């Protein structure tokens, strides 16, 4: 079992979840696809998303609110689209049907099985990315995704 | 499509990768299973692991070095074991075959297809967990996991 050294940029982790991070920029909802996301604290259940320098960031920085929407396979094409085009050039507010909970600057996606509105807890500046750590304010799902009053993760 | 609100502690994300985080505590290698892990920066390719108050942390805090080892399915039982027992009570240094790269306080696991030695870049204290952000120093794999000089993630 001979080990070989490879370039450290290969240090990706799989499987990656894929979420749609939403914010309100210039009064419009905007979303981007993010694969670098993880739960980071037990109580409160903080979640971190790592964003490069994107249009979405502006809304989070200004409003201290954002959303995390977990798509299912049927949304893959539209999720991809949000990962490929920038909100600075394209209005993405009508790609999905939206709703809002208590946080009016955290746009939630009706089509997503799980929607989480977050209050910004901390923003950690890294050399290229910013790690936005959010505290969930509300989590929305649908009855059909629940089994015995628990979220059925399958 | 009626949305229902559920408890925010349900805000887990799937799929989760599972890694073995290693450090040297009191001159012995120690490992713990961690599911809250994500790449967080493009260049350098920083990786964050979120650890509760565990024995492993002591080694990271002292040495500013740690390792991330990505197990395959054949290691599931031993990975589980590392998640269930604490290094404070049980010597876990002989659960795996170890090797070291340049970082002598970042114990690497021979049985893992991918092993990453990290220099501590930043430790972000959260209410319960600590988010250890590491900069990969060396990434090790084996020829059999490479296809066309790229890591074959399948």
Interface predicted TM-score of the whole assembly (ipTM), two decimals: 0.87
B120 confidence band (pLDDT: 50, 70, 90): very high
CB contact under 8 A, A139 and B6: yes
Specify whether the CB–CB gap between A83 and A33 falls below 8 A: yes
Q: CB neighbours of A68 closer than 8 A, spacing ≥ 6?
A: A19, A20, A21, A22, A37, A47, A49, A115, A116, A118, A134, B11
Which one of B11, B40, B115 has the shortest CB-CB distance to A45?
B11
| Subunit contact A137:B8, Cβ cutoff 8 A | yes
Residue A84 CB contacts under 8 Å (≥ 6 apart), including other chains: none
| B73 shares contact with chain A (CB less than 8 Å) | no
pTM: predicted TM-score of the whole model, two decimal places: 0.90
Contact at CB, B140 and A6, closer than 8 angstroms = yes
Q: Give me the pLDDT at residue B91, please.
A: 84
Look at residue B4 in the predicted model and tell me its pLDDT: 81
Q: Chain A residues with CB inside 8 Å of B129's CB?
A: 40-42
Instruction: Mutation target for A interface from B2, B18, B41: give the one with most A CBs within 10 A.
Output: B41
Q: Are A51 and A37 in contact (CB under 8 A)?
A: no
Cα separations (Å) of A32 from A56, A80, A143?
7, 9, 26
Mutate to test the interface with B, among A13, A68, A107 (most CBs of B within 10 A): A13
Beta strands in chain A (DSSP E): 3-6, 19-25, 28-34, 37-39, 47-51, 65-70, 98-99, 108-109, 114-125, 130-142, 146-147, 150-151
Give the number of other CB atoms < 10 A from CB of residue A149: 7
Which pLDDT value is given to residue A49?
96
């Amino acid at each position: 079992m001979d080990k070989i050294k490879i370039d450290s940029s290969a240090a990706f982790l799989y499987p990656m979840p894929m979420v749609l991070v939403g914010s309100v920029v210039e009064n419009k909802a905007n979303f981007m696809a993010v694969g670098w996301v993880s739960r980071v604290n037990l109580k409160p259940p903080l979640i971190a998303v790592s964003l490069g320098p994107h249009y979405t960031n502006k809304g989070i920085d200004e409003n201290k609110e954002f959303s995390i929407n977990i798509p299912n396979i049927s949304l893959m094409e539209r999720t991809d689209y949000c990962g490929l085009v920038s909100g600075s050039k394209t209005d993405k507010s009508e790609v999905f049907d939206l709703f809002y909970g208590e946080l009016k600057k955290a746009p939630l996606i009706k089509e997503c099985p799980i929607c989480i509105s977050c209050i910004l807890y901390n923003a950690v500046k890294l050399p290229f990315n910013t790690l936005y750590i959010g505290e969930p304010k509300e989590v929305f799902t649908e009855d059909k995704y629940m089994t015995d009053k628990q979220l059925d993760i399958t």
